[in-house]
Structure 1
Amino acid sequence: MEITVAVTKEKNAPFTFEQAELDGPRANEVMIKITACGICHTDLAARDQIYPAPLPIVLGHEGSGVVEAVGNEVTKVKPGDHVVISYGHCGKCPNCLKGSPSYCYNFVGLNFGGGRADGSHAHHQKNDGLNDFFFQQSSFGTYTIAPEINVVKVDPTVPLELLGPLGCGIQTGAGSVINALKPGPGSSILIFGTGAVGLSAIMAAAATGCTTIIAVDINAGRLELALKLGATHTLDSRQSDFADAIKAIDSDGIDYALDTTGRNEVINLALYALKSRGVCGIIGASHTAVSFDANYMVGKGLTIKGIVEGESIPEIFIPQLVALHKAGKFPFDQLIKFYDPAEMNQAAEDSEKGVTIKPVIRFDQLTII
């Protein structure tokens, strides 16, 4: 069938809307009419080739939509179902079988390889090859194909256009707290960075009973929003008395820290803020080397924990986040700003400049090609 997609043709190039042909679903695949798709830092990193992804490619990995058709082996969704599409994983490697799909042995190839596991494609153009299956979905378009394994059925009473970012960015922030760090009620947590991921972590910390939630950033407006979403304290990471400010909150230090920046100096601020046996989770994507005082780490029994996709099992965790949202305990809609497809490059720029926390493109309103 003929569809419209946003194509990334060259490194650092703007998104361009073009027509393409989309194959029907294979036996284990689902065809989805895209309602909306969030723009994530990872999309922009792939566009700019910070993360290797073959070009030209259809990006987009926070898609939500309505099932249009299913392959003859698909059992968990049917046409008309509302779905969120999450990250790709094989379902067969040891980590997948142990319930840790975000650490799938085949994660890089499936999510960044530019095609199915066998190298084939569902999107085609007459004159040029077109890479797809970015995060096994390529949701920057009017329709897409995704494997059944990373399609999640969601509550049809919740506005579908809101839900796409639950498939990656919001799932990553919330899951890093709920699934990875697992703070108990009454715990203290320090969260560095108040973008979509960090603010999602703050909401999750509040929902799970943390009683001291410290948001750290240099953006005063974001810190103000953090307080509305559940933070109990805010700090500017540049302030010279940062350590004293932490001691004023708790003289023994903080139980947990979460870094979304990937910056060496910020991670060290987090480590020195922890109490003995504290845990620091790292989800900031960066190629920057991190150094720390090993003797200090050993002496306090600290743990540094890398976290991918919030260590979430999407089929379980995304419906839980939707339920929390319906109950008024996870107001992630406050992070979202909708854009028409014609504004897609502006949305990407707004995201990079911090103007918009989580831009979402309404592909159901696409009137341009």
Structure 2
Amino acid sequence: MKALAVEENGALRIVEIEKQKINDYQVLVRMLAGGICNGTDAKIIHGKFKGFHTYPAILGHEGVGEVVEMGRFVENFKLGDHVLCPFQEGMNGPYHSGWGAFAEYAVCWDWKALVKSGVSQDSPDFPVSAYTQKVIPKDMDPVHGSMMITFREVLSAMKTFALQANKSIVIYGCGPVGASFTKFAKILGLGPVIVCDLTEERMQKARDLGADETFCSTDPDLTGKIRAVCPQGVDYVVDAVGRSQIINQAMNLVTFNGKICVYGISPNNSMELDWTNSEYNWQLQFIQWPTKWEEAQAHQQVMNWIRSGILKPEEFYSHVVPFEKILEGFEMTAKQEAFKVMVTF
């Protein structure tokens, strides 16, 4: 089968690998769609994803596929089901799994059947990624299903950050992740919602999604303008970009007992904190890897929002390309010519 591989030097190419064989508790899925992640995929390509050193690797972690084969003891999937988050398991020839959803086929686990067989969820070999492998309605566009993965990750992070209604929030960045934070902040009743980005196009996107105020991130009077909206400071500042300098900028913005919430993964793993001008009490919390269990718990709420029309997945991507043109999709992403690129098979 065909798959997208990244080499250690960052080169991307479509390669031929073996279709994976499933065990008794797995299902094989034929991939239907996936999303190019502007964060994780890009950082793996550039060798900047903390803790990831195994190349060459098959990319992709925002996929949805259709069940075409089932293991003997599978109970919670059926043929034809559309399932989120299929992955490649382990090595496939010389290729490691960079989650591996950019392939023609992938694998999901029936973790409930596995537990029923006596396998402990605390076992170091337990496939925790299986928690996120949820069935979606067949009448849902698979591209929209793929967007749910970003939505679930962001919503689960917001819950862990303990963001509360009627509190003010500044969100740095309005890419797909920042846009999700913006929309969800409005749905959950936070306000005012202030979004900072570099481009007018992204700031307009934030306004379209409900942001109360938008400011250019490089404005020399950015702190003053935000303070004009929130004179006592803001309750939350979210880094949805992955720039360590945002933390120090946020020190000048958070109110007494406010919180700096770091979600974006910075290419730098160290910095000097400067709280000279901060309040005496504040918190700094990193959530750069929402647990699979937490992501799974966000699934139904995201689905409810989509079904009710409050959340429209089509507002969060700009291009859809067939898998045969996935390299063009990555090129558009690298050149920032696309908001988010989705891939169909």
Answer yes or no: same fold by TM over 0.5: yes
Tell me, yes or no, if structure 1 residue 263 matches structure 2 residue 250. Answer: no
How has the CA–CA distance of structure 1 residues 9 and 294 changed in structure 2, closer, same or farther, with 3 Å as cutoff?
A: closer
Corresponding residue for 1:196? 176
How has the CA–CA distance of structure 1 residues 54 and 309 changed in structure 2, closer, same or farther, with 3 Å as cutoff?
A: closer
How has the CA–CA distance of structure 1 residues 350 and 61 changed in structure 2, closer, same or farther, with 3 Å as cutoff?
A: same
Tell me, yes or no, if the aligned pair for 1:190 and 1:257 is still in contact at 8 Å. yes
- Give the 3-state SS of the residue equivalent to 1:21 in structure 2: coil
Corresponding residue for 2:116? none
Amino acid at match of 1:131: H
Q: How does 1:116-135 map to 2 (within 5 A)?
A: 116=90, 121=91, 123-124=92-93, 129-132=94-97, 134-135=98-99
Q: How does 1:143-222 map to 2 (within 5 A)?
A: 143-148=105-110, 149=130, 150-167=132-149, 169-177=150-158, 179-222=159-202
Tell me, yes or no, if the aligned pair for 1:176 and 1:201 is still in contact at 8 Å. no
Identity of aligned residues (%): 22
Q: How does 1:1-369 map to 2 (within 5 A)?
A: 3-16=1-14, 18-40=15-37, 41-51=39-49, 52-85=52-85, 116=90, 121=91, 123-124=92-93, 129-132=94-97, 134-135=98-99, 138-148=100-110, 149=130, 150-167=132-149, 169-177=150-158, 179-288=159-268, 289-294=270-275, 299-310=279-290, 313-336=294-317, 337-363=319-345
Tell me, yes or no, if the aligned pair for 1:275 and 1:300 is still in contact at 8 Å. no
Corresponding residue for 1:94? none
Mapped to 1, the partners of 2:161 and 2:55 lie a distance apart of 36
Q: CA deviation at 1:294?
A: 4.6
How has the CA–CA distance of structure 1 residues 115 and 49 changed in structure 2, closer, same or farther, with 3 Å as cutoff?
A: farther
Tell me, yes or no, if the aligned pair for 2:65 and 2:84 is still in contact at 8 Å. yes
Mapped to 1, the partners of 2:13 and 2:328 lie a distance apart of 10
How has the CA–CA distance of structure 1 residues 311 and 329 changed in structure 2, closer, same or farther, with 3 Å as cutoff?
A: farther
RMSD: 2.2
Tell me, yes or no, if the aligned pair for 1:34 and 1:63 is still in contact at 8 Å. yes
Mapped to 1, the partners of 2:33 and 2:26 lie a distance apart of 20
Single out whichever of 192-201 and 338-347 deviates more from structure 2: 338-347
Amino acid at match of 1:42: T
How has the CA–CA distance of structure 1 residues 231 and 280 changed in structure 2, closer, same or farther, with 3 Å as cutoff?
A: same
Mapped to 2, the partners of 1:315 and 1:86 lie a distance apart of 14
Q: CA deviation at 1:311?
A: 5.2
Q: CA deviation at 1:230?
A: 1.6
- Give the 3-state SS of the residue equivalent to 2:103 in structure 1: coil
Mapped to 2, the partners of 1:71 and 1:162 lie a distance apart of 27
Q: CA deviation at 1:276?
A: 0.6
Mapped to 1, the partners of 2:274 and 2:258 lie a distance apart of 15
Q: CA deviation at 1:247?
A: 1.6
- Give the 3-state SS of the residue equivalent to 2:310 in structure 1: coil
Corresponding residue for 2:124? none
How has the CA–CA distance of structure 1 residues 172 and 300 changed in structure 2, closer, same or farther, with 3 Å as cutoff?
A: farther
Q: CA deviation at 1:211?
A: 2.5
Mapped to 1, the partners of 2:223 and 2:46 lie a distance apart of 36
Q: CA deviation at 1:199?
A: 0.5
Tell me, yes or no, if the aligned pair for 1:181 and 1:256 is still in contact at 8 Å. no
- Give the 3-state SS of the residue equivalent to 1:31 in structure 2: strand
Mapped to 1, the partners of 2:310 and 2:280 lie a distance apart of 34
TM-score (norm 1): 0.80
Q: CA deviation at 1:55?
A: 2.5
Tell me, yes or no, if the aligned pair for 2:333 and 2:340 is still in contact at 8 Å. yes
Runs of 4+ deviating beyond 6 Å? none
Mapped to 2, the partners of 1:222 and 1:267 lie a distance apart of 21
Q: CA deviation at 1:309?
A: 4.0
Mapped to 2, the partners of 1:190 and 1:68 lie a distance apart of 45
Q: Which runs of 5+ in 1 are unaligned?
A: 88-113, 364-369
